[in-house]
Amino acid sequence: MDLPMSDRALRLTPAALSMLLCSAPAIGWASAEGAGPDPLIFDIDLAICTAIVFLLTLAVLRKFAWRPIVTGLEKREQAIADNIATAENAAEEARKLTAHYEEKLAGAADEVRAIIEEARRDAEHTGQQIVEKAHTKATEEGNRLLREVELAKNIALKEISDRATNLAVDLAGKIVQRELSPNDHAQLIQSAQTQFTRANPSDN
Amino acid sequence: MEDPSHAVDPFDPHHLFGHVQDAPHFDVPQRLAEEGKIKVWQLSDAFEPFVDLQLMEADPNWHLAPFDLSFTKFMLLEIIAALFLVVFFIPLARKIADGSPAKGKWANMLEVLLVFIRDEVARPTIGRHDADRFLPFLWTMFFFVLGCNLLGLAPWAGSATGALATTFTLAMITFGMVLITGMARQGILGFWKALVPHMELPFVLAIFLIPMIFVLELAGLLIKHVVLAVRLLANMVAGHLVLAVLLAFILASASHIAFYGVAPVVLAGATALTLLELFVAFLQAYIFTFLSALFIGTAIHPH
């Protein structure tokens, strides 16, 4: 049973009724013998007045006070519940946004680090490349110069050898063409020498 | 202090009860009015009592006062209590009807009481779903009873709830509420049938037992509403009577040297008891309303 107490009270009420009924004459006697006041006196006028006043109050307040108060309280409860729901939603939204931006921020830091790293790598790489290029170029230039010097030297040597050969041939021809007196001989040698000297004035 | 020669026996029950019971006049100090009584304005002196006074005096078991259209102290106090309700709650309703919160100590205090009755009395006893329909009744009942109780603490006034006619009428209004809501919810026959708890009985036994149980339960239903009236009446009468008796000690010792010992003690005691009465005024209004709500709840949900 839902309400054992009130049920028990209900069972006990017949006993209470009989007690009340038995005690009623006693109260009556008391008022009869001692002519004392009656605390259970029932004034019908007051009862009617009570009923009218109470029901009238109920009707007036029901229309002008209780109904507006009930709706007002309900409205306020609803508004508070709505506000709480809105606030909770906003808080949830804010939490999400914060997490999102924190994630983004952490990502940005990583990105910056990667960019710097890459830039450094690029710079190092470029520097190395420049040095390498310069080195290669310098080597190439050096080699080219060496080659040119070699070439010039070879050309000069060839020229020398050619001219010497020509001289020798000329000299030999001249010797062969003439019978040479000792005088002539000396003269020949001298002219050859002059010629040689003239041909190579400074190249000794 | 009253003139001892003028005063009656201070412990005379008539005198003591005179301060507690209804009367066509207010008891005030003798300096304020002739014989210490301010008469309540009457509708008509010419109206013949409906019930024969002599018959009633001849039959002392008869607790009825005559129906004579007399306008009494308690009627006036009931009207004052009702006016207080109107003056307090209609402005409050205006303020909070649009859902805005109550502002100010007074409005908040009234609202706390209203919400207490709703959340701690109506909803647990009647159920969340149905409770709000009975709130106007329960709120009016609580504040009307409370107003009548508290007016008893005002000097020279009295508690209208200290008369059986008042409490019995209020209890019968609750009873009517129980009958109407119970029959509206369960059907006219269903309500009376639900009074008898369902039992697995052999047919022969049921023929005897069920009508008996029905009569007992019917008596129980009536008695618990009558007890509702008697409880409130007894509490208010007893409280005021104790105060009257206590203060009568001052009167009794007025021409004696003991007065200087008795008076301060009695005064302190009476002050403490008045504070207790203040508590009882709220407690009894609460109990009356709580039991009304409980009876309505039982009528709506019989099991």
Q: What is the ipTM of this complex?
A: 0.90
B10 vs A162, residue with greater confidence: A162
Best of B56, B88, B142, B166 to disrupt the A interface by mutation (most A CBs within 10 Å)? B166
Rounded Cα distance, B228 and B240, in Å: 19
**Among B278, B32, B266, B276, CA closest to B152:** B278
% pLDDT > 90, chain B: 55
CA nearest neighbour of A168 among A196, A136, A148, A145: A196
Residues of B in contact with A21 (CB under 8 A): none
Instruction: Count the neighbouring beta carbons within 10 Å of the beta carbon of residue B196.
Output: 18
Over residues B21-79, the pLDDT tens digits come to: 888 888 888 888 888 788 888 776 666 666 566 666 665 566 677 677 788 899 999 99
Identify which of B107, B113, B108, B109 has the alpha carbon closest to the alpha carbon of residue B91.
B107
Indicate yes or no: CB of A60 within 8 angstroms of CB of B21: no
What are the structural domain ranges in chain B? 23-29+71-300
Which pLDDT belongs to residue B123? 94
Query: Is the predicted pLDDT of residue A13 greater than 60, yes or no?
Result: no
Question: Which tokens sit at B224?
Answer: 């618990």
**Dist. CA B168–CA B27, nearest whole Å:** 25
Pick from B16, B67, B164, B170 the residue to mutate for testing the A interface (most A CBs within 10 Å).
Answer: B164
CA distances (Å), origin A65, targets A46, A62, A68, A152, B135: 26, 6, 6, 126, 11
Which has more confidence, A199 or B266? Answer: B266
B198 close contact with A: CB closer than 8 A: no
For residue B7, the model assigns a pLDDT of 52
User: Which chain A residue is nearest to residue B97, measuring alpha carbons?
Assistant: A72
**Mean of all residue pLDDT scores within chain B:** 88
The residues, any chain, with a CB within 8 Å of residue B75's CB and separated by 6 or more, are A45, A46, A49, A53, B40, B160
CB atoms near residue B187 (< 10 Å): 12
* Residue contact A16–B223, C-beta within 8 A: yes
| Cα gap A176→B20, rounded to integer Å | 185
B210 by Cβ neighbours in 10 Å (0-12 / 13-18 / 19+) ranks as: middle
Q: Which of B75, B177, B218, B287 is the best mutation test for A, with the most CBs of A within 10 A?
A: B75
Q: Which residue of B has its CA nearest to A57?
A: B82
What residues form DSSP beta bridges with B64?
A42
The per-residue pLDDT for B68 is: 72
In sign, the C-alpha dihedral spanning A71, A72, A78, A79 is positive
Q: What is the pLDDT of residue A20?
A: 42
pLDDT at position A34 over 60: no
User: CB–CB of A27/A40 below 8 Å?
Assistant: yes
Asked if residues B59 and A31 have their Cβ atoms less than 8 Å apart, the reply is no
The partner residue sitting opposite B85, judged by closest CB among A34, A55, A61, is: A61
Confidence of residue B1 (pLDDT cuts 50, 70, 90): very low
Do B78 and A53 make contact, defined as CB atoms within 8 angstroms? yes
Report, as an integer, the average pLDDT of A7-26. Answer: 43
B211 vs B207: CA distance, rounded Å: 7
**pLDDT tens digits, A115-151:** 999 999 999 999 999 999 999 999 999 999 999 999 9
Closest CA to B146 of B270, B50, B278, B241: B278
> What DSSP string describes B229-283?
HHHHHHHHHHHHHHHHHHHHHHHHTTTSTTHHHHHHHHHHHHHHHHHHHHHHHHH
Q: Give the mean model confidence (pLDDT) for residues A24-39.
A: 47
